[in-house]
């Protein structure tokens, strides 16, 4: 038992080091005084003040956040409705449609990106609409985010007793009221998980964003990719550190809210 415990501990430690060591390096080198290279020349915080004057990085961060927020809100709403409809209603071709729902998940990003770019080109040539920019990027992100949200919400609905909704309908609630006051609160953890997953995918995406972006719609992944050719400056590391910190704080806040909600529900019971 001790050998197995030691092996599991070592394996877990190695796995966590593999996952989080690159993040730790980015954070540490955001305080490195050296402008280029991996040589540590001293501790400094000047790159965080330099970041305030890097208009390209700040604009890219702003585009990234707006893109993530708008696409996540839209995809969460549509994905939740899609997951609910797939779980609760019967319609012709439901089984086939359920399998097609996984296609955007497994299709390589480059295939999806080229397909969207071709689609935008056709719409633009026929109707004169959809110039490449932040709008086309939002639509593109919503396209690959919806299946992830729908799959998570649908999985949450599988374990939900349909009699709860039927009881609400028997007590006089209409379909919308039953969904809003009974179903939605019960599947809210799944909706939040799907939304957080969609937001993370949006922040991390490069390929789809690169193919569907236009002038003035550069995001952080695109900016960092273009900066690699001339060398990534430490102010980019500082910006990445701030994003990591914001992500950690958001995760903690969501966990605290879920714990408060669970404890409140248990207290009411």
pLDDT tens string 241-262: 888 888 788 778 777 777 776 6
**Residues near 69 by Cβ (< 8 Å), separated by ≥ 6?**
199
Question: Across the chain, how many H-helices and E-strands are there?
Answer: 13, 0
Number of domains observed in the structure of the chain: 1
Residue 114, domain member (yes or no):
yes
pLDDT confidence bin for 141, thresholds 50/70/90: very high
Name the residue among 162, 187, 209 with its Cα closest to residue 68.
209
Does some domain include residue 239? no
The boundaries of the domain holding residue 79 are 61-218
Tell me if 261 is assigned to some domain. Answer: no
Domain contains 163: yes
**Mean pLDDT, rounded, for 178-189:** 81
List CB contacts of 134: < 8 A, sequence separation 6 or more.
63, 66, 67, 214, 216, 217
pLDDT digits (tens, 9 = 90+) for 57-109: 888 888 998 999 999 999 999 999 888 888 877 778 778 887 888 888 888 88
Q: What is the pTM of this model?
A: 0.81
Within a domain: residue 209?
A: yes
Read off φ and ψ for residue 242, nearest 5 degrees: -65, -40
Write phi, then psi, for 108 (nearest 5 degrees).
-60, 145
Question: Would residue 154 count as lying in a domain?
Answer: yes
CATH value at residue 89: 1.10.3720.10
Q: What is the mean pLDDT of the chain?
A: 82
Q: Is residue 260 part of a domain?
A: no
Residue 199 lies in a domain: yes
Cα 114 to Cα 13, 178, 193, 220, distances in angstroms: 40, 42, 29, 20
């Amino acid at each position: 038992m001790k050998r197995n415990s030691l092996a599991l501990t070592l394996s877990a430690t190695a796995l966590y080091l593999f996952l989080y060591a690159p993040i730790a390096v980015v954070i540490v080198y955001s305080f490195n005084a050296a402008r280029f290279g991996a040589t540590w020349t001293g501790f400094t915080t000047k790159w965080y003040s330099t970041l305030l004057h890097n208009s390209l990085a700040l604009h890219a961060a702003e585009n990234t956040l707006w893109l993530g927020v708008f696409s996540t809100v839209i995809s969460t709403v549509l994905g939740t409705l899609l997951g609910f409809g797939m779980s609760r209603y019967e319609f012709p071709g439901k089984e086939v449609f359920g399998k097609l729902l996984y296609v955007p998940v497994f299709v390589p990003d480059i295939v999806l990106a080229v397909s969207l770019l071709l689609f935008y080109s056709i719409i633009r040539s026929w109707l004169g609409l959809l110039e490449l920019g932040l709008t086309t990027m939002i639509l593109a992100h919503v396209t690959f985010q919806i299946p992830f949200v729908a799959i998570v919400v649908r999985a949450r609905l599988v374990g939900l007793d349909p009699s709860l909704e039927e009881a609400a309908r028997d007590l006089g609630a209409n379909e919308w009221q039953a969904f809003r006051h009974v179903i939605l609160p019960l599947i809210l953890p799944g909706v939040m998980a799907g939304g957080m997953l969609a937001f993370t995918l949006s922040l991390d995406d490069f390929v789809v964003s690169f193919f569907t972006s236009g002038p003035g719609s550069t995001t952080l992944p695109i900016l960092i990719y273009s900066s690699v050719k001339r060398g990534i400056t430490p102010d980019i590391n500082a910006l990445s550190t701030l994003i990591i910190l914001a992500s950690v704080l958001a995760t903690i806040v969501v966990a605290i809210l879920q714990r408060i909600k669970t404890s409140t529900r248990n207290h009411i019971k």
